[in-house]
């Protein structure tokens, strides 16, 4: 397998990426991936672009893709909790075709509402795109919490 994430990439030291690695390790209840580096754990999140010789069919199993999806949004929820001190919980609804929704709720406030298309192929073109998406979701969520803080605190 060709590695697309360099071990010296500064993004690996970001708080979100460290949280995502914690979430991935938490999914590994048998410890099968204990010796894997963070780069190796994050590698399945990086999907090749179309036209780069990538197969148009998903090469990953649905459970593995949904586990990545869950780990990513759990990490987003944990970052929201760290920033505002309120409990954030992600909720998923994905049909067998990979279409669905992700909601992250704080109190009675929906802080992230993301439509999913192709969740069976959940991933990003680069580690920086993964980090950018998490930063964008976190900014939106914290903005909503700031605007509707009394609803978020319920």
Checking DSSP bridges between strand 109-116 and strand 100-106, what pairing results, if any? Answer: antiparallel
Strand extents, DSSP E, the chain: 88-94, 100-106, 109-116
| Residue 91 belongs to a domain | yes
- Look at residue 60 in the predicted model and tell me its pLDDT: 55
| Residue 1 belongs to a domain | no
Domain at 51, CATH number = 1.10.3100.20
- Look at residue 2 in the predicted model and tell me its pLDDT: 56
Assess contact for 83 and 16: CB atoms under 8 A.
no
| Residue 78 belongs to a domain | yes
- Look at residue 51 in the predicted model and tell me its pLDDT: 47
Q: What is the pLDDT along the chain (154 residues), one digit of tens a residue?
A: 456 788 888 999 999 999 999 999 998 888 888 889 999 999 999 987 654 444 444 445 688 889 999 999 999 999 999 999 999 999 999 998 889 999 999 999 999 999 999 888 889 999 999 999 999 999 999 999 999 999 998 6
Domain count, the chain: 1
Segment holding 137, helix H or strand E: helix 127-147
- Look at residue 48 in the predicted model and tell me its pLDDT: 73
- Look at residue 50 in the predicted model and tell me its pLDDT: 58
Structural domain that includes position 20? 10-152
| Residue 31 belongs to a domain | yes
Residue with tokens 């030291």: 13
């Amino acid at each position: 397998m060709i590695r697309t994430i360099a071990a010296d990439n500064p993004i690996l030291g970001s708080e979100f990426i460290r949280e995502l690695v914690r979430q991935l390790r938490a999914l590994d209840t048998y410890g099968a991936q204990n010796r894997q580096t963070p780069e190796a754990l994050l590698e399945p999140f990086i999907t090749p672009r179309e036209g780069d010789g990538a197969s148009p069919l998903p090469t990953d199993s649905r459970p593995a893709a949904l586990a990545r999806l869950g780990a990513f949004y759990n990490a987003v929820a944990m970052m929201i909790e760290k920033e505002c001190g309120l409990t954030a919980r992600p909720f998923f609804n994905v049909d067998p075709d990979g279409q669905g929704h992700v909601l992250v709720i704080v109190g009675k406030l929906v802080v992230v509402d993301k439509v999913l298309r192709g969740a069976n192929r959940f991933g990003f073109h680069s580690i920086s795109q993964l980090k950018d998406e998490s930063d964008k979701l976190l900014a939106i969520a914290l903005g909503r919490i700031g605007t509707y803080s009394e609803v978020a605190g319920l």
